[in-house]
Amino acid sequence: MKKALVLGASGGMGYAIVKELVNRGVEVTAFARSINKLNHLFSRYPTVTIIPGDALNQNQLTQIARNKDIIFHAINLPYGDWETKLLPLTDSIIQAARKNNAKLAIVDNIYAYGKCNETVKESTVKTPHTKKGKLRLQAEERVKRSRVPYVLAHFPDFYGPYAENTQLNFTIQSVIQNKRAWFIGSQYLAREHLFTLDGAQALVNLSFQDEAYGQHWNIPATHPVTGRELIRLIRDLTGYQKKVSTVTTNMLRLLGVFDRQMREFVEMQYLNQQAVILNGGKYEKLIGPLPRTSYKKGLELTIRSYQGLEHLGN
């Protein structure tokens, strides 16, 4: 791989993928809607080309994808846009890859699996019960039918530098500002939270392996962890002493009366009642040990990014 296009490069996972590719000497085109965010993250790096735009503009995307070996899809649409934009976006990206004979590496979540009582393997039948899970499964099926070479990685919830719209970063942002902080969901349930730099390393590793294409892969976090454990680590790293309250499903329903984005969060709260835990054995059989940054180290790097102390290449 010599040249890569990263879609959604200004988000948490997109940033991490660009960072991983740059560290491996790959020429990267960083694509996202906000030129200001792209410049902030990547303007100092000669091997990163910055292009702002809209991936739903199929002609623009096809042009930008010219001469790229692979397209990394890390775009994270707001929940409120999924119903109207997720499948057209998937089609636009598939067409850009097909017309340029490029491969695809796709960042996906765990919603398509639905509720699971056991650790999830790639062989687990996907039975989504939510609107968003069903849309994710439809998008995955379109990729599989496209005949474009692809690797698709299922990740649990993210946290990390510039992962602004994630549940754990929501808590961290308030802590850094010394405001009253909130934690979404039960603080006693052990769930997976994946450090973005680990996820990016795992996906890039897969993208370099010919045997990985035409398959989906589960990339678990370091280990399941409770909210209370995470809050304790955050307190140790920051000295934060204020109460961290819990955002309940009923609170989200109430907020959803006035805010569509909050309303869209409600149906995903099953994950805060019964965790979906991924099995990474398939990855380890092909690649080797999964990247596993400790929660303490991952939280420290995330906090440093909010303090302006973490940047690409450091």
Q: 30-41 pLDDT, tens per residue?
A: 999 999 999 999
The mean pLDDT of 127-151, rounded to a whole number, is 96
Query: Which residues, in sequence order, are CB contacts of 257 under 8 Å at separation 6+?
Result: 263
pLDDT at 310 over 70: no
Extract the runs of DSSP E, i.e. beta strands, from the chain: 3-7, 27-32, 48-52, 70-73, 103-108, 150-154, 157-159, 181-184, 193-195, 215-218, 244-247
Q: How many CB atoms lie within 10 A of CB 24?
A: 14
Range 36-62 burial, b when 16+ CB lie within 10 A, else e: ebbeebbeebeebbbebeebeebebbb
Average of per-residue pLDDT values in the chain: 93
> When comparing pLDDT for 85 and 255, which is higher?
85
Which residue segments constitute the domains of the chain, with CATH numbers given? Answer: 3-159+193-221+277-292 (3.40.50.720)
The mean pLDDT of 95-111, rounded to a whole number, is 97
The reply to whether the predicted model has a pTM over 0.85 is yes
CA dihedral 224, 227, 228, 229 (to 10 degrees): 40
pLDDT at 254 over 80: no
Shortest CA distance to 163 belongs to which of 278, 299, 12, 33?
A: 12
Q: Residue 251: its pLDDT value, please? A: 79
Long-range contacts for 236-242 (Cβ within 8 Å, ≥24 apart)? 236/296, 237/296, 237/299, 237/300, 237/303, 238/175, 238/176, 238/303, 240/175, 240/178, 240/181, 242/178, 242/179, 242/180, 242/181
Place of tokens 């180290």: 297
Q: 171-217 pLDDT, tens per residue?
A: 999 999 999 999 998 999 999 999 999 999 999 999 999 999 999 99
Q: Which pLDDT band, with edges at 50, 70 and 90, does 165 fall under?
A: confident
The mean pLDDT of 116-141, rounded to a whole number, is 95
Amino acid at 259: D
Percentages (nearest 5) of helix, strand, coil residues in the chain: 45, 15, 40
